[in-house]
Amino acid sequence: MGEIDDIAARKDRMAVLARADAGRLRALWSALGLDPAHRRLRGPESGLVTLRGRIGGTGEPFNMGEATVTRASVILADGAVGHAMTLGREPEKTELAAIIDALCHDRDTATRIDADLVAPIRHELATADEKRRQETAATRVDFFTMVRGED
Amino acid sequence: MQRESIVLEGGFTDPVIESQAVFRALMDAMAHPARAYRIGHHAAPSVPIAATAAAVACAVVDADTPVWLDGALAIDAVRTWLGFHTGARFANSPGEAAFALIADGAGMPALQRFAQGTEEYPDRSSTVILQLSALDGGDALAFEGPGIRTRATIAPVGLPAEFPTQWRANRARFPRGVDLILTAGDAIACLPRSARLLAGEN
Amino acid sequence: MYVAVKGGEAAIDNAHRLLADRRRGDRAVPALTLDQIAGQLALAVDRVMAEGSLYDRRLAALAVKQARGDLIEAIFLLRAYRTTLARFGYSEPLDTGAMLVERRISACHKDLPGGQLLGPTFDYTHRLLDEGLDGDASVEAGKIRAGAAEKVVRVADILADEGLIEGDGLATGDGPGDINHTPVEFPLSRAMRLQSLSRGDEGFLLALGYSTQRGYARSHPFAGEIRIGEVEVEVFLPELGFAVPVGRVQVTECQMVNQFKGSAKVPPQFTRGYGLVFGQSERKAMAMALCDRALRAEELGEDIVAPPQDQEFVISHCDNVQATGFVEHLKLPHYVDFQAELGLVRRMRAEYEARDREVAPVREAAE
């Protein structure tokens, strides 16, 4: 697996962790039985990220407004460093996401975490998205043409 | 992975409290030009940047303040460390810098090469943070001006030889001009642009 | 002239205590939870996020509760909180084309890829008060329509295929300016105007947008597209060297399409106004898009004849925190100011009456 694939896998995992419900994440984490000693390199601390849009949707960027985010960076005993940034103000969840990111430098641990923690959450999030999409689909307008005039 | 961890260690352990403590000391020092203030030990960077200059940077630099590093500091490890702990972006030239970090005081660019601000917005100027070897023991410089009762004297080691001339020119550009934060050991002293260098042995 | 006045400390303390009491109201009624506010007054919370310029539903719900439902007060609270947080950086620009769409309509095209998706809308309701909501009757879940997902293509892309609509232009590469850091100097770039409008007061922008439709700026708008949904946010972290996904935000996007007769340089085509707002804020996004288009008058070579085309007028007055601050500061003591004015008016009145007395005998003599 090349470096690009590694980054894609890491981003994919981060996307799931960022959106995960804190309670659900904590429960799956406890079940894994991993609890490595770690030190904090930075945070967890809350702050702002300026959200940018693009003029017209695809043009020049503009600043739309701010969002709260929490960031954390940790280091494990073996020197592995993990980072996390999540929308909102949930320091415990964000620190846990950073610890998981650090653990996943180890390929075997990453495989285990992906299978037992990331995959179930990803599946739940995808199911919720699909339900929302289908609810929206039920409000789709089906046009039918009225017969007009004489033929 | 190992390299990454080494480069990132040594920021503030309690960012809110420590950045406020350093900022408070900076305000006092700016209000009393040429008087040394000890700030204690806050940052312990794992990269070649002096701890007190790093602590000042952690207190004042953020993603909206471009930082210029002099030749001695412009290395990846320092950029990564500052970027990680402060969110800093980096300026390509002294004239674009909100803050400049200088390790080699004697060889630093002339003060006029930094951002000077404008008559309407004199705050759009560079604040230059200098890492010096000591704040006393060098040539004595005596100042007067706002925040100084009669005169304040400081004798930093490691300023450029032509510093007195440059500083008088900086004062002459008032309200434009740069402000200096001198650091050595765990102490800081400030020279805001309002400080007038008195004629003397220099 | 401002003179410090002391006093009133006990009165202020007691007023704030009374405020807390009145906010809580009847203790026999359960207190509102933030989940209730965020969940059941969601559009009020969205407005507070949009105009407070801070995306955080829980904080916005808290602000609504603390402000007793006064949304401009809540917006003020959120803005004040926002200033206490450090800014870590900027997101990558949101990709609204990749949105998980909850609503998408177009008034320009009946049939379009992805369809007209009404979503949870007030449109087509009869605006009859529903007494059934006075209580906690059970509510049915939304209906489900299974089937493969169809890409919800942007209407602007459909029109662009014919070459009859202006493009979005290319990014210049310079970062957009930021009204939080740069003192506003006119003319403002379109990027900075959009930042102002995105957090501007809904009522003010609505009225201005309405005025453009009534003829106070040449405007023949069509709602090209309105879409509401969640988009991914990514933030570039230098220590990692790539953009990290940090979660999703809900936004409302509006593309207004306006006829344009062309100029010496530009052929006749459709031009566009753009609106992008936090949360489900459809009216605001539409008003923003109308104002954005009107403010492009100079760029498009149109005569500036009406307030919505005047940058200084629109941008300087659209922020309701600034507006309320200046209007409401009139409540603060102006005792000394007023004494000075009182003295002045008394003097002018005395001079006026003295003049009157001098004139009166002359008039009598003439009679």
B46 touches chain C (CB under 8 A): no
pLDDT of residue C364: 63
Residue A1 pLDDT class (50, 70, 90 cuts): very low
Amino acid of residue B1: M
Mean pLDDT of B173-185: 97
Phi, psi of B179 (to 5 degrees): -115, 145
For residue C362, the model assigns a pLDDT of 64
Question: What was the pLDDT predicted at B6?
Answer: 62
**Distance from C-alpha of B109 to C-alpha of C255, rounded to nearest angstrom:** 50
Strand order in the sheet with B37-38: B37-38, B187-191, B179-184, B127-131, B99-102, B67-69
Q: Chain A partners of C153 at a C-beta cutoff of 8 Å?
A: none
Q: What is the pLDDT of residues C206-237, one digit of tens each?
A: 999 999 999 998 778 999 999 999 999 999 99
Could you tell me which residues come within 8 angstroms of residue C8 by beta carbon, excluding any fewer than 6 positions away? none
- Contact C59/A63, CB-based, under 8 Å? no
Q: In the predicted model, what is the mean pLDDT of residues C153-159?
A: 86
The tokens describing C123, both together, are 């449109």
Mean pLDDT of chain C: 92
Report pLDDT digits (tens) over B7-21. Answer: 788 999 888 899 999
Model confidence at B36, pLDDT cuts 50, 70, 90, reads very high
Q: What is the mean pLDDT of residues A74-84?
A: 95
The H or E element spanning position B5 is helix B2-8
User: Which among A125, A43, A121 is positioned nearest to A85, based on CA atoms?
Assistant: A43
CA distance C37 to A5: 43
Residues of C with CB under 8 A from a CB of B: 86-90, 178, 181, 183, 238-239
**Domain containing B67: what range?**
2-197
Q: Which residues pair with C101 in a beta bridge?
A: C229
Q: Please determine, for residue A17, whether its predicted confidence score (pLDDT) is greater than 60.
A: yes
CB B191 within 8 A of CB B182: yes
Q: What are phi and psi of B2, to 5 degrees?
A: -60, -45
Looking at residue C117, the DSSP 8-state letter turns out to be: B
CA atoms within 13 A on the CB side of C86: 21
Q: Check pLDDT > 60 for residue A99.
A: yes
pLDDT of residue C285: 98
Q: How far lies B81's CA from each of B11, B12, B128, C234, in Å?
A: 8, 12, 19, 22
pTM comes to 0.91
pLDDT tens digits, B47-76: 899 999 999 999 999 988 999 999 999 999
Instruction: Determine the pLDDT at residue A149.
Output: 66
CA dihedral A141, A142, A145, A146 (to 10 degrees): -80
- Quick one: pLDDT at residue B2? 42
Residue B180 pairs with which residues in a beta bridge? B128, B191
Alpha helices in chain C (DSSP H): 9-24, 34-40, 42-52, 57-66, 71-82, 155-160, 190-198, 202-213, 282-294, 311-317, 320-328, 335-366
How confident is residue B202, by pLDDT bands cut at 50, 70 and 90?
very low
Subunits next to A (3 or more Cβ pairs <8 Å) are B, C
Asked if C239's CB is within 8 angstroms of B83's CB, the reply is yes
**C102, C110, C278 member nearest A65 (Cβ):** C278
For residue B98, is it within any domain? yes
The pLDDT-based confidence of C158 (bands split at 50, 70, 90) is confident
> Across-strand partners of A86?
A70
Residue C293, Cα to own-chain centre: how many angstroms?
A: 16
| Alpha carbon distance, N-terminus to C-terminus of chain C | 49
User: What CATH number is associated with residue B124?
Assistant: 3.40.50.11310
Assigned token pair, A127: 């199911």
Do B186 and B51 contact (CB within 8 A), yes or no?
yes
DSSP tag of C123: T
Tell me the HSE value of A133 on the side-chain side, using a 13 A CA sphere.
Answer: 16
Q: Looking at the domain assignment, is residue B123 inside a domain? A: yes
- CA dihedral (C59, C62, C68, C70) in degrees, to 10, reads 10
Residue C192: the pLDDT is 95
Share of residues in chain C with pLDDT > 70 (%): 95
Answer whether residue C198 shows pLDDT above 90: yes
Residue A63 has pLDDT above 90, yes or no: yes
B46 band by pLDDT with thresholds 50, 70 and 90: confident
Model confidence pLDDT, tens digit, residues C273-296 = 999 999 999 999 999 999 999 999
Flag whether pLDDT at A3 surpasses 80: no
Mean predicted lDDT score pLDDT of chain A:
93
Smallest Cβ distance to C88: which of A47, A58, A136? A47
Is the model's pLDDT at C2 over the cut of 60?
Answer: no
More confident residue, C162 or B25: B25
pLDDT of residue B3: 47
CA distance A113 to chain B (A): 19
Residues contacting C59, CB < 8 A, separation 6+: A68, A89, C78, C81
Distance (Å) from the alpha carbon of C56 to chain A's nearest alpha carbon: 6
The pLDDT assigned to C173 comes to: 62
Give me the pLDDT at residue B63, please.
Answer: 87
Which has the minimum average pLDDT: B134-148, C253-267, C306-320? C253-267
pLDDT for residue C35: 98
Structure tokens at C158: 């459909």
In this prediction the ipTM stands at: 0.94
Nearest CA-CA distance, residue C179 and chain A, Å = 9
Query: What's the structural domain count of chain B?
Result: 1
Q: What is the pLDDT of residue C175?
A: 73
* C71-82 mean pLDDT: 98
Structure tokens at C229: 């949904």
Q: How far is it, in rounded angstroms, from Cα A86 to Cα A103?
A: 18
Work out the average pLDDT over C112-126. Answer: 94
> What number of C-beta contacts closer than 8 Å exist between A and B?
28
